[in-house]
Structure 1
Amino acid sequence: MTRTGGEVATGVLVVTGGSRGIGAKICELAAERGYAVVVNYSGDPAPAEAVAERVRAHGGPGLAVRADVADEQQVSALFTAAEALGPLVGVVNNAAITGNTPGRLDEQRADTVRRVLEVNVGGVFLCCREAVRRMSIKHGGAGGAIVNVSSTAARTGSAGEWVHYAASKAAVNTLSFGLAQEVADEGVRVNVVAPGLVETGLHEAAGLPDRIARIAPAIPLRRPGQPAEIAEAVLWLLSPAASYTVGAVLEVGGGR
Protein backbone atom coordinates (compact mmCIF):
# COMPACT_ATOMS: atom_id res chain seq x y z
CA MET A 1 0.00 0.00 0.00
CA THR A 2 1.40 3.38 -0.97
CA ARG A 3 1.37 6.09 1.67
CA THR A 4 1.54 9.78 0.87
CA GLY A 5 2.13 12.89 2.92
CA GLY A 6 3.79 10.92 5.69
CA GLU A 7 0.57 9.12 6.59
CA VAL A 8 1.03 5.65 8.01
CA ALA A 9 -1.07 2.58 7.51
CA THR A 10 -0.87 -0.65 9.43
CA GLY A 11 2.50 -2.31 8.99
CA VAL A 12 5.59 -2.79 11.14
CA LEU A 13 6.19 -0.51 14.10
CA VAL A 14 9.46 -0.57 16.06
CA VAL A 15 9.18 0.58 19.68
CA THR A 16 12.44 0.99 21.55
CA GLY A 17 12.31 0.42 25.29
CA GLY A 18 9.06 -1.44 24.71
CA SER A 19 9.17 -3.94 27.55
CA ARG A 20 7.93 -1.76 30.41
CA GLY A 21 5.95 1.33 31.39
CA ILE A 22 5.07 3.74 28.60
CA GLY A 23 6.80 1.61 25.97
CA ALA A 24 4.77 -1.48 26.81
CA LYS A 25 1.50 0.45 26.58
CA ILE A 26 2.53 1.87 23.22
CA CYS A 27 3.19 -1.66 21.95
CA GLU A 28 -0.14 -2.96 23.20
CA LEU A 29 -2.18 -0.06 21.83
CA ALA A 30 -0.38 -0.28 18.49
CA ALA A 31 -1.28 -3.96 18.29
CA GLU A 32 -4.92 -3.12 18.96
CA ARG A 33 -4.76 -0.71 16.02
CA GLY A 34 -3.40 -3.30 13.63
CA TYR A 35 0.37 -2.84 13.68
CA ALA A 36 2.90 -5.64 13.69
CA VAL A 37 5.08 -4.62 16.62
CA VAL A 38 8.77 -5.08 17.32
CA VAL A 39 9.31 -4.81 21.07
CA ASN A 40 12.87 -3.64 21.67
CA TYR A 41 14.54 -4.18 25.04
CA SER A 42 18.07 -4.17 26.42
CA GLY A 43 17.94 -6.17 29.65
CA ASP A 44 15.67 -8.88 31.03
CA PRO A 45 13.95 -10.71 28.14
CA ALA A 46 10.97 -11.91 30.20
CA PRO A 47 9.00 -8.61 30.30
CA ALA A 48 9.65 -8.02 26.59
CA GLU A 49 8.47 -11.51 25.67
CA ALA A 50 5.35 -10.95 27.78
CA VAL A 51 4.58 -7.73 25.88
CA ALA A 52 5.19 -9.49 22.55
CA GLU A 53 2.76 -12.20 23.61
CA ARG A 54 0.11 -9.58 24.40
CA VAL A 55 0.75 -8.06 20.98
CA ARG A 56 0.19 -11.44 19.34
CA ALA A 57 -2.99 -11.89 21.35
CA HIS A 58 -4.45 -9.05 19.27
CA GLY A 59 -3.95 -11.17 16.16
CA GLY A 60 -0.86 -9.59 14.66
CA PRO A 61 2.85 -10.37 14.67
CA GLY A 62 4.83 -9.42 17.76
CA LEU A 63 8.58 -9.83 18.06
CA ALA A 64 10.87 -9.08 21.01
CA VAL A 65 14.36 -8.03 19.92
CA ARG A 66 17.22 -7.30 22.27
CA ALA A 67 19.40 -4.33 21.31
CA ASP A 68 21.25 -1.56 23.09
CA VAL A 69 20.14 1.53 21.16
CA ALA A 70 23.48 3.21 21.87
CA ASP A 71 25.28 0.49 19.89
CA GLU A 72 25.33 1.08 16.12
CA GLN A 73 25.64 -2.58 15.16
CA GLN A 74 22.88 -3.67 17.51
CA VAL A 75 20.55 -0.96 16.17
CA SER A 76 21.23 -2.13 12.62
CA ALA A 77 20.43 -5.70 13.66
CA LEU A 78 17.20 -4.52 15.33
CA PHE A 79 15.92 -2.96 12.13
CA THR A 80 17.03 -5.93 10.06
CA ALA A 81 15.02 -8.18 12.36
CA ALA A 82 12.00 -5.90 11.93
CA GLU A 83 12.15 -6.35 8.15
CA ALA A 84 11.19 -10.00 8.61
CA LEU A 85 7.69 -8.88 9.66
CA GLY A 86 7.08 -6.65 6.64
CA PRO A 87 7.52 -3.04 5.56
CA LEU A 88 8.46 -0.53 8.24
CA VAL A 89 5.85 2.21 8.65
CA GLY A 90 6.71 3.68 12.04
CA VAL A 91 9.29 4.01 14.79
CA VAL A 92 8.80 5.14 18.38
CA ASN A 93 12.04 6.08 20.09
CA ASN A 94 11.05 5.55 23.69
CA ALA A 95 14.18 3.98 25.22
CA ALA A 96 15.84 6.29 27.74
CA ILE A 97 17.62 6.23 31.07
CA THR A 98 18.12 8.72 33.91
CA GLY A 99 21.35 7.18 35.13
CA ASN A 100 19.53 6.26 38.37
CA THR A 101 21.65 8.79 40.28
CA PRO A 102 19.45 11.73 41.27
CA GLY A 103 21.23 14.81 42.55
CA ARG A 104 22.79 18.11 41.59
CA LEU A 105 24.90 18.38 38.46
CA ASP A 106 28.08 18.83 40.52
CA GLU A 107 27.41 15.47 42.18
CA GLN A 108 27.14 13.48 38.95
CA ARG A 109 29.78 11.11 37.64
CA ALA A 110 31.02 11.80 34.14
CA ASP A 111 30.54 8.18 33.06
CA THR A 112 26.91 8.27 34.25
CA VAL A 113 26.18 11.41 32.26
CA ARG A 114 28.02 10.05 29.23
CA ARG A 115 25.92 6.90 29.24
CA VAL A 116 22.68 8.91 29.54
CA LEU A 117 23.65 10.97 26.49
CA GLU A 118 24.69 7.87 24.55
CA VAL A 119 21.32 6.19 25.11
CA ASN A 120 18.94 9.15 25.15
CA VAL A 121 20.47 11.18 22.32
CA GLY A 122 22.79 8.83 20.44
CA GLY A 123 20.18 6.08 20.49
CA VAL A 124 17.53 8.36 19.01
CA PHE A 125 19.97 9.48 16.32
CA LEU A 126 20.87 5.91 15.35
CA CYS A 127 17.27 4.68 15.27
CA CYS A 128 16.07 7.73 13.33
CA ARG A 129 18.84 7.19 10.80
CA GLU A 130 17.86 3.56 10.27
CA ALA A 131 14.19 4.52 10.03
CA VAL A 132 14.80 7.22 7.41
CA ARG A 133 16.96 4.89 5.35
CA ARG A 134 14.03 2.48 5.17
CA MET A 135 10.97 4.75 5.03
CA SER A 136 12.06 7.82 3.06
CA ILE A 137 10.96 7.88 -0.58
CA LYS A 138 14.46 9.20 -1.33
CA HIS A 139 15.75 5.77 -0.32
CA GLY A 140 13.01 3.83 -2.08
CA GLY A 141 10.65 3.62 0.89
CA ALA A 142 6.95 4.38 0.98
CA GLY A 143 6.90 6.89 3.83
CA GLY A 144 6.02 6.59 7.48
CA ALA A 145 6.22 8.33 10.82
CA ILE A 146 8.70 8.70 13.66
CA VAL A 147 7.65 9.68 17.17
CA ASN A 148 10.43 10.47 19.62
CA VAL A 149 9.55 10.38 23.31
CA SER A 150 11.02 13.36 25.11
CA SER A 151 9.99 14.86 28.46
CA THR A 152 8.66 18.07 29.93
CA ALA A 153 11.97 18.02 31.81
CA ALA A 154 13.45 19.49 28.62
CA ARG A 155 11.57 22.66 29.56
CA THR A 156 11.62 22.51 33.38
CA GLY A 157 15.29 21.49 33.71
CA SER A 158 14.82 18.89 36.48
CA ALA A 159 17.06 20.86 38.85
CA GLY A 160 18.37 18.94 41.84
CA GLU A 161 17.55 15.59 40.29
CA TRP A 162 18.53 14.97 36.65
CA VAL A 163 19.76 18.09 34.85
CA HIS A 164 21.74 15.80 32.51
CA TYR A 165 18.57 13.84 31.70
CA ALA A 166 16.65 17.06 31.03
CA ALA A 167 19.44 18.23 28.73
CA SER A 168 19.31 14.97 26.82
CA LYS A 169 15.58 15.40 26.24
CA ALA A 170 16.06 18.98 25.05
CA ALA A 171 18.51 17.55 22.52
CA VAL A 172 15.86 15.06 21.39
CA ASN A 173 13.45 17.94 20.75
CA THR A 174 16.00 19.78 18.63
CA LEU A 175 17.09 16.66 16.76
CA SER A 176 13.46 15.87 15.99
CA PHE A 177 12.65 19.34 14.69
CA GLY A 178 15.69 19.44 12.45
CA LEU A 179 15.06 15.96 11.09
CA ALA A 180 11.42 16.83 10.46
CA GLN A 181 12.55 19.64 8.16
CA GLU A 182 14.85 17.29 6.28
CA VAL A 183 12.43 14.47 5.54
CA ALA A 184 8.92 15.93 5.53
CA ASP A 185 8.84 16.07 1.74
CA GLU A 186 10.19 12.51 1.58
CA GLY A 187 7.03 11.07 3.12
CA VAL A 188 8.35 10.81 6.68
CA ARG A 189 6.74 12.79 9.50
CA VAL A 190 8.79 13.34 12.65
CA ASN A 191 7.19 14.51 15.90
CA VAL A 192 7.72 14.37 19.66
CA VAL A 193 5.59 13.39 22.63
CA ALA A 194 6.87 14.95 25.86
CA PRO A 195 5.34 13.26 28.91
CA GLY A 196 5.25 14.92 32.28
CA LEU A 197 5.10 13.00 35.55
CA VAL A 198 3.88 9.49 34.72
CA GLU A 199 3.17 6.64 37.09
CA THR A 200 5.78 4.05 36.15
CA GLY A 201 8.51 2.13 37.95
CA LEU A 202 11.16 4.63 36.84
CA HIS A 203 10.94 6.75 39.98
CA GLU A 204 11.41 3.93 42.46
CA ALA A 205 14.17 2.37 40.36
CA ALA A 206 15.99 5.70 40.44
CA GLY A 207 15.88 5.80 44.24
CA LEU A 208 13.00 8.29 44.51
CA PRO A 209 9.99 6.19 45.61
CA ASP A 210 8.18 9.27 46.95
CA ARG A 211 8.66 11.39 43.81
CA ILE A 212 5.16 10.93 42.41
CA ALA A 213 3.48 11.81 45.70
CA ARG A 214 5.79 14.80 46.13
CA ILE A 215 5.28 16.31 42.67
CA ALA A 216 1.65 15.42 41.90
CA PRO A 217 0.13 18.25 44.01
CA ALA A 218 1.94 20.81 41.80
CA ILE A 219 0.25 19.47 38.66
CA PRO A 220 -2.96 21.34 37.71
CA LEU A 221 -4.77 17.99 37.36
CA ARG A 222 -3.41 17.01 40.81
CA ARG A 223 -2.36 13.56 39.64
CA PRO A 224 0.33 11.78 37.64
CA GLY A 225 -0.33 10.60 34.13
CA GLN A 226 -0.82 6.98 33.18
CA PRO A 227 1.23 5.16 30.53
CA ALA A 228 -1.92 4.56 28.48
CA GLU A 229 -2.50 8.31 28.23
CA ILE A 230 0.94 8.82 26.73
CA ALA A 231 0.43 5.89 24.39
CA GLU A 232 -2.73 7.48 22.99
CA ALA A 233 -0.78 10.63 22.08
CA VAL A 234 1.94 8.58 20.39
CA LEU A 235 -0.54 6.54 18.36
CA TRP A 236 -2.31 9.71 17.24
CA LEU A 237 0.94 11.16 15.91
CA LEU A 238 1.65 7.91 14.09
CA SER A 239 -1.79 7.88 12.49
CA PRO A 240 -3.17 9.53 9.33
CA ALA A 241 -5.21 11.77 11.66
CA ALA A 242 -1.96 13.68 12.30
CA SER A 243 -1.01 13.86 8.62
CA TYR A 244 -0.39 17.65 8.74
CA THR A 245 1.55 17.54 12.01
CA VAL A 246 5.31 17.80 11.48
CA GLY A 247 8.07 18.86 13.87
CA ALA A 248 5.68 19.26 16.80
CA VAL A 249 6.38 18.70 20.49
CA LEU A 250 3.17 17.48 22.08
CA GLU A 251 3.36 17.88 25.85
CA VAL A 252 1.24 15.42 27.83
CA GLY A 253 1.88 16.59 31.35
CA GLY A 254 -1.36 17.52 33.04
CA GLY A 255 -0.66 21.23 32.61
CA ARG A 256 2.65 21.39 34.46
Structure 2
Amino acid sequence: MAVSSTTPSSRPVTVVTGGSRGIGAATCVRLASEGHDLALGFVSNAEAAERTAAAVRAAGARCVTVRVDTAVEADVERLFDAAAAQLGPVTGLVNNAGVTGPLGRLVDTSTETLRRVLDVNLLGCLLCCRRAAKDMTARGSGAIVNISSAAATLGSPGDFVHYAATKAAADALTIGLSKELGPDGIRVNAVAPGMIDTEMHATAGDPDRAATAAAGIPLGRPGAAPEIASAIAWLLSGEASYVTGAVLRVAGGR
Protein backbone atom coordinates (compact mmCIF):
# COMPACT_ATOMS: atom_id res chain seq x y z
CA MET A 1 0.00 0.00 0.00
CA ALA A 2 1.33 3.43 -0.89
CA VAL A 3 0.04 6.97 -0.68
CA SER A 4 1.28 10.36 -1.72
CA SER A 5 2.10 12.96 0.90
CA THR A 6 -0.01 15.79 -0.52
CA THR A 7 -1.87 17.77 2.13
CA PRO A 8 -5.50 16.57 2.56
CA SER A 9 -8.25 18.76 1.17
CA SER A 10 -11.97 18.80 0.51
CA ARG A 11 -11.49 17.27 -2.94
CA PRO A 12 -13.73 14.38 -4.00
CA VAL A 13 -12.39 10.99 -2.94
CA THR A 14 -13.19 8.19 -5.36
CA VAL A 15 -12.53 4.46 -5.05
CA VAL A 16 -11.73 2.75 -8.36
CA THR A 17 -11.51 -1.04 -8.37
CA GLY A 18 -9.44 -2.73 -11.04
CA GLY A 19 -7.61 0.56 -11.39
CA SER A 20 -4.17 -0.59 -12.49
CA ARG A 21 -4.76 -1.06 -16.23
CA GLY A 22 -7.17 -0.51 -19.09
CA ILE A 23 -10.41 1.32 -18.37
CA GLY A 24 -9.64 1.51 -14.66
CA ALA A 25 -6.27 3.20 -15.17
CA ALA A 26 -7.68 5.63 -17.74
CA THR A 27 -10.48 6.47 -15.31
CA CYS A 28 -8.06 7.16 -12.47
CA VAL A 29 -6.03 9.56 -14.61
CA ARG A 30 -9.14 11.29 -15.97
CA LEU A 31 -10.65 11.75 -12.52
CA ALA A 32 -7.35 13.07 -11.17
CA SER A 33 -7.38 15.71 -13.90
CA GLU A 34 -10.86 16.73 -12.76
CA GLY A 35 -9.92 17.17 -9.11
CA HIS A 36 -10.51 13.76 -7.55
CA ASP A 37 -8.20 12.02 -5.11
CA LEU A 38 -8.09 8.28 -5.79
CA ALA A 39 -8.06 4.99 -3.91
CA LEU A 40 -6.86 2.55 -6.56
CA GLY A 41 -7.69 -1.09 -5.96
CA PHE A 42 -5.69 -3.75 -7.83
CA VAL A 43 -5.61 -7.52 -7.54
CA SER A 44 -2.09 -8.57 -8.59
CA ASN A 45 0.01 -6.22 -10.74
CA ALA A 46 1.61 -3.86 -8.24
CA GLU A 47 3.95 -2.43 -10.87
CA ALA A 48 1.06 -1.42 -13.13
CA ALA A 49 -0.81 0.02 -10.15
CA GLU A 50 2.16 2.17 -9.21
CA ARG A 51 2.52 3.42 -12.80
CA THR A 52 -1.09 4.52 -12.75
CA ALA A 53 -0.65 6.06 -9.30
CA ALA A 54 2.36 8.01 -10.56
CA ALA A 55 0.26 9.41 -13.43
CA VAL A 56 -2.47 10.37 -10.95
CA ARG A 57 0.02 12.18 -8.73
CA ALA A 58 1.55 13.91 -11.74
CA ALA A 59 -1.92 15.35 -12.38
CA GLY A 60 -1.84 16.88 -8.89
CA ALA A 61 -4.01 14.34 -7.07
CA ARG A 62 -3.39 12.10 -4.10
CA CYS A 63 -3.51 8.36 -4.66
CA VAL A 64 -3.46 5.35 -2.37
CA THR A 65 -2.95 1.91 -3.91
CA VAL A 66 -4.42 -1.14 -2.20
CA ARG A 67 -4.08 -4.78 -3.21
CA VAL A 68 -7.61 -6.13 -3.07
CA ASP A 69 -9.67 -9.04 -4.32
CA THR A 70 -13.15 -7.54 -4.54
CA ALA A 71 -14.71 -10.99 -4.15
CA VAL A 72 -13.36 -11.06 -0.58
CA GLU A 73 -15.40 -9.05 1.92
CA ALA A 74 -12.45 -8.30 4.20
CA ASP A 75 -10.45 -6.94 1.26
CA VAL A 76 -13.28 -4.62 0.25
CA GLU A 77 -13.57 -3.32 3.79
CA ARG A 78 -9.81 -2.74 3.91
CA LEU A 79 -9.90 -0.80 0.63
CA PHE A 80 -12.59 1.58 1.83
CA ASP A 81 -10.99 1.90 5.26
CA ALA A 82 -7.67 2.87 3.65
CA ALA A 83 -9.38 5.41 1.42
CA ALA A 84 -11.15 7.05 4.35
CA ALA A 85 -8.12 7.02 6.62
CA GLN A 86 -5.60 8.35 4.14
CA LEU A 87 -7.68 10.52 1.81
CA GLY A 88 -10.92 11.41 3.58
CA PRO A 89 -14.59 10.44 3.31
CA VAL A 90 -15.36 8.47 0.16
CA THR A 91 -17.62 10.42 -2.19
CA GLY A 92 -17.52 8.17 -5.26
CA LEU A 93 -17.11 4.56 -6.34
CA VAL A 94 -16.24 3.17 -9.76
CA ASN A 95 -16.97 -0.58 -9.72
CA ASN A 96 -14.59 -1.53 -12.52
CA ALA A 97 -12.93 -4.79 -11.40
CA GLY A 98 -14.00 -7.64 -13.65
CA VAL A 99 -12.84 -10.88 -15.24
CA THR A 100 -13.97 -12.96 -18.21
CA GLY A 101 -12.03 -16.20 -18.10
CA PRO A 102 -10.92 -17.81 -21.39
CA LEU A 103 -13.03 -17.17 -24.47
CA GLY A 104 -15.25 -20.09 -25.47
CA ARG A 105 -18.65 -21.73 -25.40
CA LEU A 106 -20.42 -22.28 -22.10
CA VAL A 107 -20.24 -26.07 -22.48
CA ASP A 108 -16.45 -25.81 -22.49
CA THR A 109 -16.19 -23.43 -19.52
CA SER A 110 -15.02 -24.87 -16.23
CA THR A 111 -17.01 -24.53 -13.04
CA GLU A 112 -13.95 -22.85 -11.52
CA THR A 113 -14.10 -20.13 -14.18
CA LEU A 114 -17.85 -19.69 -13.74
CA ARG A 115 -17.46 -19.24 -9.99
CA ARG A 116 -14.60 -16.76 -10.35
CA VAL A 117 -16.47 -14.64 -12.90
CA LEU A 118 -19.57 -14.60 -10.71
CA ASP A 119 -17.56 -13.85 -7.57
CA VAL A 120 -15.66 -10.91 -9.03
CA ASN A 121 -18.20 -9.42 -11.43
CA LEU A 122 -21.31 -9.79 -9.30
CA LEU A 123 -20.47 -10.53 -5.66
CA GLY A 124 -17.55 -8.09 -5.74
CA CYS A 125 -19.73 -5.40 -7.25
CA LEU A 126 -22.37 -6.00 -4.58
CA LEU A 127 -19.84 -5.90 -1.75
CA CYS A 128 -18.37 -2.61 -2.99
CA CYS A 129 -21.81 -1.09 -3.51
CA ARG A 130 -22.88 -2.15 -0.03
CA ARG A 131 -19.88 -0.57 1.66
CA ALA A 132 -20.13 2.59 -0.45
CA ALA A 133 -23.85 2.87 0.33
CA LYS A 134 -23.15 2.59 4.04
CA ASP A 135 -20.50 5.31 3.99
CA MET A 136 -22.36 7.63 1.62
CA THR A 137 -25.71 7.31 3.37
CA ALA A 138 -24.10 8.56 6.56
CA ARG A 139 -22.97 11.67 4.66
CA GLY A 140 -26.18 12.15 2.67
CA SER A 141 -24.48 12.26 -0.73
CA GLY A 142 -22.36 10.27 -3.15
CA ALA A 143 -22.20 8.68 -6.59
CA ILE A 144 -21.60 5.13 -7.74
CA VAL A 145 -20.77 4.06 -11.29
CA ASN A 146 -20.88 0.35 -12.08
CA ILE A 147 -19.03 -0.86 -15.16
CA SER A 148 -21.40 -3.03 -17.17
CA SER A 149 -20.92 -4.11 -20.78
CA ALA A 150 -22.74 -4.12 -24.10
CA ALA A 151 -22.45 -7.89 -23.64
CA ALA A 152 -25.34 -7.62 -21.16
CA THR A 153 -27.73 -7.21 -24.08
CA LEU A 154 -25.73 -8.82 -26.90
CA GLY A 155 -25.19 -12.03 -24.92
CA SER A 156 -21.68 -12.74 -26.30
CA PRO A 157 -22.47 -16.22 -27.68
CA GLY A 158 -19.35 -18.27 -28.31
CA ASP A 159 -17.21 -15.88 -26.30
CA PHE A 160 -18.40 -15.65 -22.70
CA VAL A 161 -22.14 -15.83 -22.06
CA HIS A 162 -21.35 -16.22 -18.35
CA TYR A 163 -19.61 -12.83 -18.35
CA ALA A 164 -22.56 -11.30 -20.22
CA ALA A 165 -24.92 -12.70 -17.60
CA THR A 166 -22.99 -11.02 -14.78
CA LYS A 167 -23.11 -7.71 -16.61
CA ALA A 168 -26.87 -8.01 -17.07
CA ALA A 169 -27.01 -8.51 -13.31
CA ALA A 170 -24.95 -5.33 -12.87
CA ASP A 171 -27.55 -3.44 -14.89
CA ALA A 172 -30.34 -4.73 -12.66
CA LEU A 173 -28.32 -3.84 -9.58
CA THR A 174 -27.78 -0.32 -10.91
CA ILE A 175 -31.47 0.28 -11.52
CA GLY A 176 -32.66 -1.18 -8.23
CA LEU A 177 -29.99 0.42 -6.09
CA SER A 178 -30.55 3.83 -7.67
CA LYS A 179 -34.15 3.71 -6.48
CA GLU A 180 -33.15 2.45 -3.06
CA LEU A 181 -30.47 5.09 -2.48
CA GLY A 182 -32.01 8.05 -4.27
CA PRO A 183 -33.79 9.29 -1.13
CA ASP A 184 -30.41 9.23 0.63
CA GLY A 185 -28.89 11.61 -1.91
CA ILE A 186 -26.83 8.93 -3.65
CA ARG A 187 -26.83 8.51 -7.41
CA VAL A 188 -26.17 5.07 -8.98
CA ASN A 189 -25.46 4.68 -12.69
CA ALA A 190 -23.61 2.35 -15.03
CA VAL A 191 -21.48 2.61 -18.14
CA ALA A 192 -21.77 -0.22 -20.67
CA PRO A 193 -18.67 -0.28 -22.89
CA GLY A 194 -18.65 -2.09 -26.19
CA MET A 195 -15.52 -3.51 -27.81
CA ILE A 196 -12.68 -1.57 -26.17
CA ASP A 197 -9.03 -2.02 -27.09
CA THR A 198 -7.49 -3.09 -23.77
CA GLU A 199 -5.36 -5.93 -22.40
CA MET A 200 -8.50 -7.81 -21.36
CA HIS A 201 -8.68 -9.54 -24.75
CA ALA A 202 -5.15 -10.92 -24.49
CA THR A 203 -5.93 -12.19 -21.00
CA ALA A 204 -9.01 -13.93 -22.43
CA GLY A 205 -6.88 -15.57 -25.14
CA ASP A 206 -7.37 -13.35 -28.23
CA PRO A 207 -5.12 -10.27 -28.28
CA ASP A 208 -6.42 -9.24 -31.74
CA ARG A 209 -10.09 -9.50 -30.82
CA ALA A 210 -10.76 -5.76 -30.72
CA ALA A 211 -9.19 -5.14 -34.12
CA THR A 212 -10.95 -8.02 -35.85
CA ALA A 213 -14.31 -6.93 -34.42
CA ALA A 214 -14.10 -3.50 -36.05
CA ALA A 215 -15.99 -4.56 -39.17
CA GLY A 216 -19.10 -5.31 -37.11
CA ILE A 217 -19.13 -1.99 -35.27
CA PRO A 218 -21.18 0.83 -36.88
CA LEU A 219 -18.48 3.41 -36.13
CA GLY A 220 -15.95 1.11 -37.74
CA ARG A 221 -13.45 0.79 -34.90
CA PRO A 222 -13.06 -0.43 -31.35
CA GLY A 223 -13.22 2.11 -28.56
CA ALA A 224 -10.37 3.35 -26.39
CA ALA A 225 -10.19 3.30 -22.61
CA PRO A 226 -10.13 7.13 -22.27
CA GLU A 227 -13.47 7.29 -24.10
CA ILE A 228 -15.04 5.14 -21.40
CA ALA A 229 -13.29 7.16 -18.70
CA SER A 230 -14.94 10.32 -20.06
CA ALA A 231 -18.39 8.80 -19.62
CA ILE A 232 -17.57 7.65 -16.10
CA ALA A 233 -16.22 11.08 -15.15
CA TRP A 234 -19.39 12.76 -16.43
CA LEU A 235 -21.65 10.46 -14.40
CA LEU A 236 -19.65 11.25 -11.26
CA SER A 237 -19.73 14.99 -11.93
CA GLY A 238 -22.19 17.67 -10.92
CA GLU A 239 -23.24 17.93 -14.57
CA ALA A 240 -25.02 14.59 -14.09
CA SER A 241 -26.72 15.68 -10.87
CA TYR A 242 -30.18 14.60 -12.09
CA VAL A 243 -29.00 11.31 -13.62
CA THR A 244 -29.54 8.11 -11.66
CA GLY A 245 -30.53 4.59 -12.65
CA ALA A 246 -29.08 5.10 -16.12
CA VAL A 247 -27.04 2.55 -18.08
CA LEU A 248 -24.99 4.65 -20.49
CA ARG A 249 -23.98 2.60 -23.51
CA VAL A 250 -20.63 3.59 -25.01
CA ALA A 251 -20.31 0.96 -27.70
CA GLY A 252 -19.82 2.57 -31.10
CA GLY A 253 -23.38 1.77 -32.15
CA ARG A 254 -23.49 -1.91 -31.20
Q: Residue 100 of structure 2 corresponds to which residue in structure 1?
A: 98
Q: Residue 52 of structure 2 corresponds to which residue in structure 1?
A: 51
Tell me, yes or no, if structure 1 residue 176 matches structure 2 residue 177. Answer: no
Q: Deviations over 1:44-80 (max 9, x none)?
A: 2111011111111122211111110000001000000
Equivalent residues, number: 244
Between the two structures, name the one with larger relative contact order (CA 8 Å, sep ≥ 6).
1
Partners in 1 of 2:210 and 2:77 — Cα distance? 36
Q: Residue 154 of structure 1 corresponds to which residue in structure 2?
A: 152
Alignment of structure 1 residues 176-255 onto 2, 5 Å: 176-255=174-253
Partners in 2 of 1:44 and 1:21 — Cα distance? 12
- Divergent runs of 4+, >2 A: none
Q: Deviations over 1:109-132 (max 9, x none)?
A: 111101100000000000000101
Q: Residue 88 of structure 2 corresponds to which residue in structure 1?
A: 86
Q: Residue 17 of structure 2 corresponds to which residue in structure 1?
A: 16
Q: Deviations over 1:206-231 (max 9, x none)?
A: 11123122211111110000000000
Q: Which moved more, 1:70-79 or 1:199-208?
A: 199-208
Query: What SS does the corresponding residue of 1:88 show, helix, strand or coil?
Result: coil
Q: Deviations over 1:65-114 (max 9, x none)?
A: 11100000010000000002011110000000001x11111111111101
Partners in 2 of 1:210 and 1:47 — Cα distance? 22
TM-score, scaled to structure 1: 0.94
Q: Percent identity?
A: 52
Q: Offset of 1:29 from its aligned partner?
A: 0.5
Query: What SS does the corresponding residue of 2:14 show, helix, strand or coil?
Result: strand
Quick one: which amino acid aligns to residue 70 of structure 1?
A: A
TM-score, scaled to structure 2: 0.94
Query: What SS does the corresponding residue of 2:30 show, helix, strand or coil?
Result: helix
Q: Offset of 1:191 from its aligned partner?
A: 0.2
Q: Deviations over 1:129-188 (max 9, x none)?
A: 01011011xxx2131100000000000000001000000100000011111110011010
Query: What SS does the corresponding residue of 1:251 show, helix, strand or coil?
Result: strand
RMSD, matched Cα = 1.0
Q: Which moved more, 1:180-189 or 1:9-18?
A: 9-18
Q: Residue 6 of structure 1 corresponds to which residue in structure 2?
A: none
Q: Residue 31 of structure 2 corresponds to which residue in structure 1?
A: 30
Q: Residue 133 of structure 2 corresponds to which residue in structure 1?
A: 132
Segments of structure 2 that go 5 or more residues without pairing to the other structure are 1-9
Q: Offset of 1:252 from its aligned partner?
A: 0.1
Partners in 1 of 2:65 and 2:186 — Cα distance? 25
8 Å contact kept, 1:10–1:89: no
Q: Which moved more, 1:15-24 or 1:56-65?
A: 56-65
Q: Residue 144 of structure 1 corresponds to which residue in structure 2?
A: 142
Partners in 2 of 1:206 and 1:105 — Cα distance? 14
Q: Residue 40 of structure 2 corresponds to which residue in structure 1?
A: 39
8 Å contact kept, 1:191–1:249: yes
